[in-house]
């Protein structure tokens, strides 16, 4: 079996650039064949315009004005020929631009499909290593950077055809005239290349500074309240003005480079035209060419002034495209560290039995490895409620995430009903284990879809009755009933805004509607009233005969006392486990946590 092709482009700069263009175009052969054909039509017809004008000059215009009646008779025919060429040329231009646009959009869509597929496939550990902003940029600005080069590509290919046709046409007329006219082309192409080479770093710098200006603005406005509260608006203005000034200078630098090259590139064809006049007149006097030939050569140069710039555009975009493509490739080539399991986890009526054995979790970042959990053993008997208690940063969330395989342990294992978690089929896992995390993610969708996480009419999706039941269990049904539209009400930034506690209860409804056999509540009720929390847990036990196994990460003693058993975690280790009363009696660290407020009151009272 051959190894799967990676998206990273190998080789030197030229090869990588060529590969990028080839792979993009090859993925859409039909579009690019049409783009190249129409662009070739455009190239050919551009030369045809000059040739026709030359011929018309010799056969019609000059003789007619000199008094040749016969030549005057073919005048209308000449007009029609020019018109026909104009129509063909316009069709070529339209086709070239339309197919270039289709290719650009298609290749961009390819990248986006690929990148987002990876986002959904790669494990949480990968997500945690990559900042949100970077991942969103991978799918937006990086894709635009990687595909921008495909806009001028068909144009440039058409110009190649144009130059070939022009060379043949001119050589057939006269070698000297041809050499004079064509001498400008390499110069113009060269000037464009030098231009792009000079411009590329300057433009990149301006682009970077634009991003920096945006970063500073974003951060500063996010911090608006803090800036006010500490009275640092002057310092923020200075910080922003400094990047804004850098951007100004970079933009002026862009202008300076353009000021040097624009006139050169624009005037080269004009200079060529003058040279053609000079040489053409000389050749005319020897009778080697006719007036029309000179006109045709001069006109061709005028017409080619813009097209020869196309090479510069492609080559100018290429470095940016390679950078964008490399960023995308890093996402596309990332390998999943998690292999999905294949073993069925039979669905039984009682809750899942969970055993955690000797689990270590080590994560690596720029500053080296960090051990988040060490040698953790944990037992959740079926149908029991276990509370996980510990100070900030003790590893509670990491441990909670292991039980639904958001992450795999670096050592040790997690078993559900005796089956190693890494072997369990993903569908069984998500069907029987539900996690409600600290922060609730609300989709920009209806209440119903936010609970079912399914499309309307999707097979297997809970019906409205089940949704209402889940909302009732999560004690949030009254809130939803009060929303305009009920289950149809839109949530999210553009919809109704729920309070923190309401969002948490919605997330619980999202979990319980699936009738999980293991429910993990990771500080998921911090904003919910304790009485409500108690009713939620009681409701769960009432509905499913034995009730699901529940692991709750909690700070509040009111939550902890609802648990059958308490596990005390500190510094990534299990310090002790037992009932609340037992731990209170024998575990000083737990006592400090559990009685912090009480002790504080006592200290105060005794003062």
Partner 1 sequence: MSVRLDAQDRRGALLVLRRGLQVSPELVQGGVVTLLLAVAAAAGRVVVPLAVQQTVDTVILATGAVPGDRLGLLVGAAAVGLVVTGVCTALVNVRLFRSSEAGLARLRVTAFRRVHDLSALTQGTERRGSLVSRVTTDVDTISQFVQWGGIQLLVSVLQLLAATVLMAVWSWQLTVLVWVAFLPLLLVVRPAQRRVSAAYARVRLAMGAMLGAISEAVVGAETVRAYGVAGRTQRRIDASIRHTRDAQVGAQTRVATVFSAGVLVANAVLAVVVVAGTLLGVAGSLTAGRLLGFLFLVQLFTGPVQMATEILNELQNALAGWRRVLGVIDTEVDVADPEHGGRASVRGAARVDLEGVEFAYPDGPTVLHDVSLHVPATSRVAVVGATGSGKTTMAKLVARLVDPARGRVLLDGVDLRDLSLATLRERVVLVPQEGFLFDGTVAENVLYGARGGAVADVAAVFAELGLADWLASMPDGLQTQVGQRGERLSAGERQLVSLARAHLAGADLLVLDEATSAVDPATEVRIAVALEELTAGRTTLTIAHRLSTAEAADLVVVVADGRVVQVGPHHELLAQDGPYAAMHDAWLAQTR
User: Restricting to residues 330-369, which ones interact with partner 1 according to CB under 8 A?
Assistant: 365-368
123 is a contact residue toward partner 1 (CB under 8 A) = yes
Rounded Cα distance, 262 and 272, in Å: 16
Distance CA 437, CA 430 (A): 15
We find the least distance from the C-beta atom of residue 188 to partner 1, in angstroms, to be 14
Cβ proximity to partner 1, 298 vs 551, nearer residue: 298
* Residue nearer to partner 1 on the CB measure, 19 or 282: 282
Q: Judged by CB, which is closer to partner 1: 359, or 404?
A: 404
How many other C-beta atoms can be found within 10 angstroms of the C-beta atom of residue 176?
15
Residue 288: closest CA among 298, 296, 300, 280: 280
CA nearest neighbour of 398 among 375, 372, 421, 378: 372
8 Å CB contact between 291 and 62: yes
Asked if 121 touches partner 1 (CB under 8 A), the answer is yes
Q: Cα separation of 197 and 205, whole Å?
A: 13
d(CA 35, CA 552): 60
- The C-alpha atoms of residue 268 and residue 185 are separated, in whole angstroms, by 9
Query: How many other CB atoms sit within 10 Å of the CB of residue 364?
Result: 11
Q: Which stretch binds partner 1 (CB under 8 A): 16-24, 58-66, 159-167, 473-481?
A: 58-66
Give the separation between CA 490 and CA 20, rounded to whole angstroms: 42
What is the C-alpha separation between 300 and 49, in angstroms, rounded? 8
Q: How far is CA 534 from CA 137, 539, 583, in A?
A: 43, 9, 22
Site string for partner 1, 384-413 (x = CB under 8 A): ------xxxx-------x--x-x-------
Considering only residues 37 through 56, tell me which ones interact with partner 1, judged by CB under 8 A: 49, 53, 56
**Pick from 279, 276, 267: nearest CA to 295:** 276
CB of 262 to partner 1, least distance (A): 6
288 binds partner 1 (CB under 8 A): no
Residue 87 interacting with partner 1 (CB under 8 A): yes
CB of 275 to partner 1, least distance (A): 8
> H or E element: which one contains 434?
strand 433-436
Region of 360 on the Ramachandran plot (φ > 0 left; ψ -120 to 50 alpha; else beta):
beta
427, 497, 545, 579: which one binds partner 1 (CB under 8 A) = 427
Cα four-point dihedral sign 449, 453, 456, 461: negative
**Calpha distance 472→481 (Å, rounded):** 11
**According to CB under 8 A, which residues from 459 to 498 bind partner 1?**
493
Q: Does 588 bind partner 1 (CB under 8 A)?
A: no
584 sits near partner 1 (criterion: CB under 8 A)? no
Min dist. Cβ of residue 34 to partner 1 (A): 13
Say whether residue 593 binds partner 1 (CB under 8 A). yes
195-234 residues in contact with partner 1 (CB under 8 A) are 210, 213-214, 217-233
CB of 216 to partner 1, least distance (A): 9
Residues 538-557 that bind partner 1 (CB under 8 A): 555-557
Q: Can residue 11 be called a binding residue for partner 1 (CB under 8 A)?
A: no
3-state secondary structure of 38: helix
Q: Please, are residues 550 and 537 in contact by the beta-carbon 8 Å criterion?
A: yes
Q: Per-residue x/- mask for partner 1, residues 256 to 275, rule CB under 8 A?
A: x-xxx-xxx-xx--xx-xx-
C-beta closer to partner 1: residue 16 or 475: 475
Name the minimum Å distance from CB 105 to partner 1: 4
458 binds partner 1 (CB under 8 A): yes
How many residues at the interface with partner 1, by CB under 8 A?
Answer: 160
Q: Which is nearer to partner 1, 17 or 331 (CB)?
A: 331
According to DSSP, residue 384 is labeled: -
**176 lines the binding site for partner 1 (CB under 8 A):** no
The residues, any chain, with a CB within 8 Å of residue 135's CB and separated by 6 or more, are 119, 127, 331
DSSP category for residue 354: E
- Find the binder of partner 1 among 23, 97, 350, 543 (CB under 8 A): 97
Q: CB of residue 513 vs partner 1: minimum separation in angstroms? A: 10
Pick one of 150, 195, 299, 468: the residue that binds partner 1 (CB under 8 A). 299
Residue 91 binds partner 1 (CB under 8 A): yes
Nearer to partner 1, 96 or 384 (CB): 96
Our CB check for partner 1 shows the closer of 17 and 467 to be 467
From the list 411, 482, 538, 596, which residue makes contact with partner 1 (rule: CB under 8 A)? 596
381, 501, 539, 578: residue in contact with partner 1 (rule CB under 8 A): 501
Q: 108, 24 in Cβ contact below 8 A? A: no
Closest approach of partner 1 to the CB of residue 164, in Å: 21
Q: Which is nearer to partner 1, 412 or 530 (CB)?
A: 530
Nearer to partner 1, 162 or 435 (CB): 435
3-state helix, strand, coil in the chain (%, to 5): 65, 10, 25
- Phi and psi at 370, nearest 5°, equal -125, 130
């Amino acid at each position: 079996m051959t190894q799967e092709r990676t998206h990273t482009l190998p080789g030197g700069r030229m090869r990588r650039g060529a590969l990028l263009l080839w792979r993009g175009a090859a993925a859409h052969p039909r579009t690019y064949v049409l783009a190249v054909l129409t662009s070739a039509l455009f190239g050919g017809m551009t030369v045809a315009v000059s040739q026709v004008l030359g011929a018309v000059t010799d056969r019609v215009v000059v003789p007619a004005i000199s008094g040749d009646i016969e030549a005057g008779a073919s005048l209308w025919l000449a007009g029609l020929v020019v018109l026909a060429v104009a129509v063909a040329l316009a069709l070529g231009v339209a086709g070239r631009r339309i197919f270039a646009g289709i290719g650009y959009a298609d290749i961009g869509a390819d990248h986006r499909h690929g990148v987002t597929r990876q986002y959904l496939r790669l494990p949480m550990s990968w997500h945690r290593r990559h900042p949100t902003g970077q991942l969103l940029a991978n799918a937006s600005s990086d894709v635009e950077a990687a595909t921008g080069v495909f806009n001028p590509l068909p144009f440039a290919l058409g110009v190649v055809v144009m130059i070939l046709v022009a060379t043949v046409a001119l050589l057939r007329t006269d070698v000297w005239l041809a050499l004079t006219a064509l001498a400008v082309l390499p110069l113009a192409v060269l000037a464009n290349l030098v231009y792009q080479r000079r411009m590329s770093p300057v433009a990149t710098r301006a682009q970077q500074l634009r991003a920096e200006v945006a970063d500073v603005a974003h951060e500063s406005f996010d911090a608006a309240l803090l800036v006010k509260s500490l009275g640092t608006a002057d310092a923020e203005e200075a910080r922003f003005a400094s990047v804004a000034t850098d951007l100004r200078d970079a933009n002026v630098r862009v202008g300076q480079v353009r000021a040097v090259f624009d006139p050169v590139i624009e005037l080269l064809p004009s200079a060529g035209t003058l040279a053609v006049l000079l040489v053409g007149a000389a050749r005319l006097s020897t009778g080697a060419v006719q007036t029309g030939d000179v006109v045709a050569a001069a006109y061709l140069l005028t017409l080619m002034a813009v097209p020869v710039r196309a090479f510069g555009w492609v080559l100018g975009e290429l470095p940016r495209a390679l950078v964008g493509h490399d960023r995308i490739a890093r996402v596309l080539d990332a390998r999943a560290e998690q292999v999905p399991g294949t073993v069925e986890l039979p669905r039984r009526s009682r809750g899942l039995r969970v055993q955690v054995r000797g689990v270590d979790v080590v994560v690596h970042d720029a500053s080296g490895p960090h051990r988040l959990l060490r040698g953790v053993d944990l037992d959740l008997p079926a149908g029991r409620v276990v509370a996980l208690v510990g100070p900030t940063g003790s590893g509670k969330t990491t441990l909670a995430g292991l039980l639904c395989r958001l992450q795999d342990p670096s050592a040790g294992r997690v078993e559900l009903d005796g089956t190693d978690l890494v072997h369990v089929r993903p569908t069984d896992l998500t069907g029987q284990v539900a996690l409600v995390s600290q922060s609730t993610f609300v989709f920009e969708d209806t209440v119903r879809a936010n609970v079912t996480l399914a499309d309307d009419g999707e097979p297997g999706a809970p019906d409205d009755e089940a949704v209402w039941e889940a909302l009732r269990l999560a004690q949030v049904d009254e809130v939803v009933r009060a929303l305009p539209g009920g289950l149809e009400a839109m949530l999210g930034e553009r919809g109704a805004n729920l309070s923190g506690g309401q969002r948490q209860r919605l997330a619980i409804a999202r979990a319980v509607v699936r009738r999980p056999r293991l429910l993990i509540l990771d500080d998921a009720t911090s904003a919910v009233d304790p009485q409500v929390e108690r009713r939620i847990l009681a409701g769960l036990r009432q509905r499913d005969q034995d009730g699901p196994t529940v692991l709750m990460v909690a700070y509040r003693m009111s939550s902890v006392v609802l648990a059958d058993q308490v596990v005390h975690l500190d510094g990534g280790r299990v310090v002790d486990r037992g009932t609340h009363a037992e731990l209170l009696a024998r575990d000083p660290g737990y006592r400090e946590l559990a009685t912090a407020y009480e002790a504080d009151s006592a200290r105060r009272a005794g003062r």
